Amino acid sequence: MLVKVASALNLGLHTVAMEVEVNVAQRGLPAFEIVGLPTKAVAESKERVRTAIINSDIKFPERRIVVNLAPADVPKQGSFYDLPIAVGILATVIGCKLPERSLFFGELSLDGTLRHTKGALLLALFAKERGVNNIFVPHSSANEASIIKGVNVYPVESLTQLVLFFCKQIDFKPVTHKENDSKEEVSEAEFDMSDVLGQEQTKRTMEIAAGGGHNLFMIGSPGSGKTMLARAFPGILPSLSEKESLEVTKIYSASGRIPPQGSVIKTRPFCTPHHTTSNAGLIGGGSRLKPGEISLAHRGVLFLDEFNEFSRLALESLRQPLEDGCITLCRSRDKATFPSRFTLIASANPCPCGYLLHPKKTCICTQREIERYRKKISGPILDRIDLCVEVPVVDIKELSCDDKAPDFLESSKVIRERIIMARKIQQKRFSSETIYTNAEMGNKQIKKYCYLSREVSQILIKAGANFNLSARSYYKMIRVARTISDLEGVKEISASHMAEALQYRSCEKNENVHF
Amino acid sequence: MKTVKISSSRYPSLLKQISDPPQQLYYKGKWDSKLFKNCLAVVGARQMTGYGRRATNELVAKIASMGVTIVSGFMYGVDAQAHRAALSVGGKTIAVMPCGIDVIHPSHQKKLYEEIIAANGLIISELETNHPPALWIFPKRNRIVAGLSKAVLVVEAGFDSGSLITADLAKKFNRKLLAVPGPITSSLSQGTLQLIKNGADLASDANDILVNYGLNYQEYSMNRFSAAGLNKLERGIIDKLTQEPKDIDTLSRLVNISISDLGATLSLMQLRGIVTKEKDKYHFIQEKVC
């Protein structure tokens, strides 16, 4: 007897339909075979299915069972075939009819219950697209799948429950989506901005970076507080919009990072890969294409500490994702596109020994060493970083004695409010465009949305001559000035906005090192 | 290949007087005997500080603009800065290489090398044209730097700096020795301060040096800053910066103004050439050089 069970297969963020054909033959020696290019995890599925069925007190048919995973030419990975295979066998054992237009998806435990399985959200999206009414997913993944409205999501706890439902012995209701506690909406940062003493300029640069989604490069000696500042950064980020949060949740679902009973992700991701991270780990890849850190940081922040220590290959592969906001990975068998619209925060020492800018310690690097160190970050990468700031070493004694200091310490909450306002202005500005933030503006959009008065362009021209600005950095300055004016809530870019933007140009040319 | 032999009439007469003058000088550029008439050697630390840079600019630009040829060793730091400061005012400069004249060492200063030749300066060496640089050559090179010059100016030097070798040679050759004083807290001032203690002339003004050449620099006395029309905030900033260079965060606390407004003001002051940023600190420019 042949039973066909519908399921689906996630390839990257893309889902394709799949059919599990289960044939329990009347003749032949008892056997259990899975065909259709199963990988190890899938092939082992037969032991899980057999044991789970037996442990659910259901008789396992002692016949020749052949399972075909169609289409047969796509390699099958993952453990979510357990449920469709088991359902197919159960259907022949019990002889009941399966509900129509349904997808089955999930991993079995040996006791017959179902385990949390990754990619449930993608399955629900696929079901909605294809007009499939019902999906059966593990209980703990059901909340994640039910984010998508218009699909009945059945939270399956065990095989027994499912059999009883097929035989119409029990009532089984689809789950309704339950939001997680909403206090998570504000990103929980390790530090508050007011915890950081001094560093006014760096904090201001971070505010601009968050305000307009600009990439930021911090240069400073060890101990100047770069890492602490970066860790305070999530606290000033606005929460994700509904559209953005679905984009992020999809990626997290595909890579199995949504916890059991998890719901949609509302806080902006903050990823901090170590500098020894492999290229595939950073940009995504592997033999089964997986999203890398840049995609996990989508709509959030990718913090690369010790930027110069990353491998040259890893740094250079950031170019295209930084420019396009997505990455397309191709292998001989697979191809996947992952979104990667993140804000890059990079930090580095000014020289190999680290003490070039230090007020007390002496730098022992030669000019050549410093140049070699800085050359590791190529022009094209620097071109894509709008803001650059030098983080000085702060004398704590001096700061804590200063009575005036507390006046300067704004909390993350206050800064965040200004950023939310600036982002709202940008949302309105770009409502007819495909971009969200000032940092994404191309030359065309700059011309359209950034009117420069005579006075302002005079400053820019003069700066171009005095500071050796390249044509590309002209546009950087304008983008940054646009964000500064948005933070102030002013429509037009004023001279002081442009003048302030010039402060953050220093990675342009290493003015410190050359003449 | 262009050379000048010791027997030639074109051979610099001052250099001939030292105890072991080079037998021949290889050179690049246009040999003009007038170049060697009034030479000043400027030497100093490779790890020059911001102070060293400004001091070199300030003194050398004035001296070079009076027609004195600046001789130095083409090393990065004070040496290169001296060459550059001379070129910036259209002055003449001679680079004495620690290697053959076709080898550019350090190689990242290729642009400077070309500029010196283009500005009718000279690249010279006693070594064959493609001789690689080596540690033992530096002291030998220094004897040519000192030998060519009437006076030697040491800008910044650490306690055991190579510049002190040049200073010793200057004394040995009976040249005038001058040193720029520096902060007593800076390790790169220990050598120069020691020189002054031991009797070198203190050079705090271009005329301290020019007097040895019978020249006098006429200060064009126009206070640019009263004419520049500074507002109250800008005057406040300059007031703080004249005491000591400061980073922007400290400055913002001192003048009590938000970092964004201060940043904008400083950018504009930088564009007008009133302040300059070196490393992470802002400096007030007394005299704009380039």
Q: What is the CATH number of the domain that holds B25?
A: 3.40.50.450
Q: Mean of the per-residue pLDDT values for chain A?
A: 88
Q: Residue B218: which residues within 8 A CB-CB, separation 6 or more?
A: none
Do A145 and A188 fall within a single domain?
Answer: no
Confidence (pTM): 0.76
Report the 10 Å Cβ neighbour count for A286.
14
pLDDT at residue A513, as a whole number: 37
Domain range enclosing B82 = 6-213
CA distances from A109 to A63, A80, A117, A154, B279 (A): 23, 11, 11, 18, 62
Last residue of a domain, one of A412, A435, A458: A412
Q: Are residues A131 and A261 in the same domain?
A: no
pLDDT for residue A408 is more than 70:
no
Residue A405 has a pLDDT of 52
Residue of B222 and B93 predicted with greater confidence: B93
**Residue A161 sits in the same domain as residue A188:** no
B266 to A512: CB separation less than 8 angstroms, yes or no:
no
Q: Which three-class secondary structure state does DSSP give residue A157?
A: coil
Please state the domain count of chain A: 2
Separation between Cα atoms, residue B70 and residue A390, nearest integer Å: 35
CA distance, residue A222 to nearest chain B CA (Å):
15
Examine the domain organization and report whether B104 and B141 are in the same domain: yes
Task: Express as a percent the part of chain B with pLDDT over 90.
Answer: 61
Within a domain: B290: no
* Rounded distance between C-alpha atoms, residue A268 and residue A259, angstroms: 17
pLDDT above 60: residue A417: yes
What is the spatial distance between Cα A25 and Cα A125, in angstroms, rounded to a whole number?
Answer: 35
The pLDDT of A220-241, averaged and rounded, is 89
Position B284 scores a pLDDT of 82
A402 pLDDT above the threshold of 60: no
Q: Tell which of B213, B239, B269 closes a domain.
A: B213
d(CA A124, CA A250): 11
CA dist., res. B290 & res. B283, Å (int)? 15
Q: Out of A342-356, B220-234, B261-275, pick the least confident.
A: B220-234
Question: Is residue A196 predicted with pLDDT exceeding 90?
Answer: no
Is the Cβ–Cβ distance between B226 and B197 less than 8 Å? no
Question: Token pair of A244, please?
Answer: 């953005």
Smallest CA–CA distance from B80 into chain A, residue = A515
Count Cβ atoms within 10 A of the Cβ of residue B75 and give its class: 0-12 exposed, 13-18 middle, 19 or more buried.
Answer: buried
CATH number at residue A102: 3.30.230.10
Provide, as residue numbers in chain B, all residues whose Cβ is less than 8 Å from the Cβ of A392: 247, 249, 280
Identify the band that residue B184 occupies on the pLDDT scale cut at 50, 70 and 90: very high
Tell me: pLDDT of B122 over 90. Answer: yes
- Listed in sequence order, the residues at least 6 apart from B38 whose beta carbon sits closer than 8 Å to its beta carbon are B67, B68, B69, B150, B213
Residues A239 and A377 in one domain: yes
The DSSP element (H or E) to which A226 belongs, if any, is: helix A226-232
Checking DSSP bridges between strand A301-304 and strand A343-348, what pairing results, if any? parallel
- Sequence length of chain B is 290
Whether residues B198 and B248 fall in one domain: no
pLDDT at A401: 53
Pair of tokens at residue A26: 């009347």
The mean pLDDT value of chain B amounts to 88
Q: Which CATH number fits the domain that encloses residue B280?
A: 1.10.10.10
A192 and A136 both lie in a single domain:
no
pLDDT digit string (tens) for A252-281? 998 888 888 888 888 899 999 999 999 999
Rg of the Cα atoms in chain A: 28
Q: Alpha carbon B152 to chain centroid distance?
A: 11
A150 pLDDT more than 70: yes
Short-list A189, A132, A178, CA closest to A155: A178
Is B280 in Cβ contact with A394 (below 8 Å)? no
Task: Report the pLDDT averaged over residues B269-285.
Answer: 83
Q: How much is the pLDDT for A374?
A: 86
For residue B223, the model assigns a pLDDT of 44
The CA distance from B187 to the nearest CA of chain A, in Å, is 9
pLDDT in tens, A77-132: 888 899 999 999 999 888 888 888 999 999 999 999 999 999 999 999 999 999 99
Tokens describing residue B130: 């493609």
Residues A204 and A334 in one domain: yes
Which band of pLDDT confidence, cut at 50, 70 and 90, is reported for residue A502?
very high
Residue B235 has pLDDT above 80, yes or no: yes
B143 and B15 inside one domain: yes
Flag whether B155 is in a domain.
yes
A59 and A103 within one domain? yes
The residues of A whose Cβ lies within 8 A of any Cβ of B are: 198-201, 203-204, 356-357, 362-363, 366-368, 371, 390, 392, 394, 402, 404-405, 408, 459, 462-463, 466, 484, 495-497, 499-500, 502-503, 511-512, 515
B134 and B23 Cβ atoms separated by less than 8 Å: no
| Residues 6 or more apart whose Cβ sits within 8 Å of residue B21 | B6, B15, B147
> How far apart, in whole angstroms, are the C-alpha atoms of residue A49 and residue A92?
14
Q: Which residue has the higher pLDDT, B249 or B149?
A: B149
- For residue B275, the tally of other CB atoms under 10 A from its CB is 21
Q: How confident is the model at residue B221 (pLDDT cuts 50, 70, 90)?
A: very low
pLDDT band for position B99 (cuts 50, 70, 90): very high
Q: What is the pLDDT of residue B115?
A: 92
Distance CA B74, CA A149 (A): 73
What is the model's pLDDT at position A398? 64
* Domain identity same for B121 and B81: yes
Count of other CB atoms within 10 angstroms of residue A276: 11
Residue in chain A nearest B108 by alpha carbon: A368
Q: What integer pLDDT is reported at residue A403 of this predicted model? A: 52
Question: Exposed, middle or buried: residue A26 (CB in 10 Å: 0-12, 13-18, 19+)?
Answer: exposed
Question: A371 to chain B: which residues are within 8 Å by CB?
Answer: 108
Question: Domain span at residue A105?
Answer: 2-166
Crossing angle of helices B50-65/B78-88, nearest 10°? Answer: 40
Over residues A337-356, the mean pLDDT reads: 92
Tell me the mean pLDDT in the region A407-436: 88
Is the pLDDT higher at A368 or at A488?
A488
Chain B residues with CB under 8 Å of a chain A CB are 46-47, 76-77, 84, 106, 108, 187, 247-249, 252-253, 256, 259-261, 263-268, 270-271, 273, 277-280
Q: Among all residues of chain B, which has the CA nearest to that of A499?
A: B264
What's the CA gap between A42 and A48, in Å, rounded?
Answer: 10
**A476-491 pLDDT per residue, tens:** 999 999 999 999 999 9
